Structure formats: C-alpha cells, structure tokens
Amino acid sequence: MCSKVVSHAANEGSGARRARIASRVASYFAPKTEIPGRVYATTSALTAISVFAAWSLLSYGGLVRPDFLPTPGAVLHAAWVTLADGSLLHHAWSSVTVILSGFILASVLAVPLGIMMGSFKIVEAAVEPITGFVRYLPVSALIPLLILWIGIGIEQKIAVIFLGTFFQQVILIADVSAGVSRDLVDCSYTLGAKRRHVITQVLIPATLPGVMDTLRVTMGWAWTYLVVAELVAANSGLGYMILNSMRGLFTDMIFLGILVIGLLGLITDQVMKALRAWLLPWAART
C-alpha cells in the first residue's frame, strides 16, 4: 500500500478508523465477493484451531469419559505405537489396495461406457434401465449377495468399491459426454472428419475435463465405502481396524483410523487435482 495512505490513516481520528474497519468487516459478508487471502487463511486456521481446542478441552478437561473421547495425546500415542510395530502401514496399505483396485476397475469400464452412453442414443437406451435402477441401491444391500456369489476374500471388498463407484461414474460421465456441444461435432464434420475421427478426436478429448472431475469426485465416494467393504470377514484394513477397536473400546485407535482415512482421502484428492492440472492445462479453472 502507498505510504501516504498509511500515514493518513494513522492520523485520522479513532472514530473514523473504527468506521473504516466496520465497513471493511461488513464487506467480508457481501455475497459472491472475494476476500483478501490473508483473511481467508486466518479464518480457516481459526476453525481448525477451535475444533482442536474444543476437543482438547472436552478430553483433557475430563468433561467426557476417555472411552468416549480420547485425548489428542492418546491418539498420537496410538499412532506412534502402530507406526512402530508396522500395523498402521499394513492396514493402510491393505485399504489402499482394495480401494485402488475397485476404483481403477470401475473407471476403466465406466469411462468408455459413459462416453458412449452420452453420445449414442442407442447405447443410452440399452444401459439406462440398469443404471437408473442400480444407482439408488445402497451398496450395503448387495453385500449378502456378494458374499454368496464371490465369497469373503479381497474380491468381495473390491466388488463393494466397484459397485459403489461404477454406476455413479457411468451416469456422471454420460452426462458429461451428452454435454459436448453439437456444433463442435458438426464443425468437425465440415472440416472433413468422419465418424471415427469425431469419436477419437472430438468426443473423447472434449469429455476429458469432465471425466477427470468425475473420477475425482467418485474417488472420494470410494473412500466412504471403505468401512462397508471391510465390514465382513476382513482381517486387515483401516475399516477393519476401526471396527475391531470398537469391540475393545479403543477409541484412540478408532480416532486414529478415521484420521488416517481422512488424510489418505485428502491426499488422493490433491493427487487427482494435480493430475488434472498437469494433463489438461487447456481446461484450467480460473
């Protein structure tokens, strides 16, 4: 800021300064208006600190029983112990394997199917009845069937993640590909493109940003299915760790499991975000 303005501000009366501050604070609450980056960061930090402070107050202050709410120290200690004996990494790796397998399998099938469904009415007519029905089924309702059909091994857990993401992906990606402008397709025809060019050189690249967004969103959903996937007959994984800790009232371990899932979810989300920016620089969000 210009130094003249600063000195002027220092000289003005306290009443005028108060009015200026009041109007600036009021501007933070105007809808759809940018606020300074510093204010944004401070506000976010305050929220995080308040949650942590409330947690510390309730647990260290003895206001809630430690069986119900462990202290931050206890969670840190649990993290230390399980990191030292390698069990935390073992569980985390097991969960990551299940999630990535289910998610990649779903994506590999859903992306082409979704693109075709959004671009070809005939494919839409064929697929819509199934996706329309299955999309509202809770995945947990299918678990008994899954156990009956494919047992209780890792395949069953992967299948839960698959079913939880695949149908959502197909519908979302179909929507993305249906949104590709008709003029863009027509234009490529007038430039000499044949049908196969339109598919490979127009429809597919045009849907990529939307596909990446869909993959990022459904990746988040895949994480939310983790505990459901590890509900039955698991002997490793973060979901298993959480369920198992409940039986012994090890709330510190439950908290640890939840924090690790949240953290891994956050990391995968950031990776997907970075991947989109790197792969599709032309579709950068401003």
Partner 1 sequence: MASLVIDDVSMRFALRRGGEVTALEHICLEVADREFSVIVGPSGCGKSTLLRLVAGLEQPSAGMIRLDGQPITGPSRDRGMVFQSYTLFPWLTVRRNVEFGLRIAGVSAAERAEIAAHFIEQVGLKGFEDAYPAQLSGGMRQRVALARALANDPKVLLMDEPFGALDSQTRALMQELLLDVWEHNHKTVLFITHDIDEALFLGDRVHVMTARPGRIREEIPVDIPRPRTFDVLTSPAFTALKRSILAHIREEAMRAVEAAAP
Question: Any contact of residue 227 with partner 1 (CB under 8 A)?
Answer: no
Question: Any contact of residue 179 with partner 1 (CB under 8 A)?
Answer: no
Q: How far is the CB of 222 from partner 1 (least distance, A)?
A: 27
Binder among 193, 199, 228, 264 for partner 1 (CB under 8 A):
193
Binder among 181, 246, 275, 277 for partner 1 (CB under 8 A):
181
Q: How far apart are CA 141 and CA 153, in angstroms?
A: 18
Question: Any contact of residue 69 with partner 1 (CB under 8 A)?
Answer: no
Stretch that binds partner 1, among 98-106, 130-138, 199-207, 212-220 (CB under 8 A): 199-207
Q: How far is the CB of 275 from partner 1 (least distance, A)?
A: 16
Cβ nearer to partner 1, comparing 211 with 254: 211
Binder among 2, 191, 235, 248 for partner 1 (CB under 8 A):
191
Q: How far is the CB of 223 from partner 1 (least distance, A)?
A: 30
Stretch that binds partner 1, among 11-19, 32-40, 133-141, 183-191 (CB under 8 A): 183-191
Cβ nearer to partner 1, comparing 16 with 125: 125
Question: Any contact of residue 235 with partner 1 (CB under 8 A)?
Answer: no
Residues that bind partner 1 (CB under 8 A): 181, 183-184, 186-194, 197, 201-202, 205-206, 208, 280-284
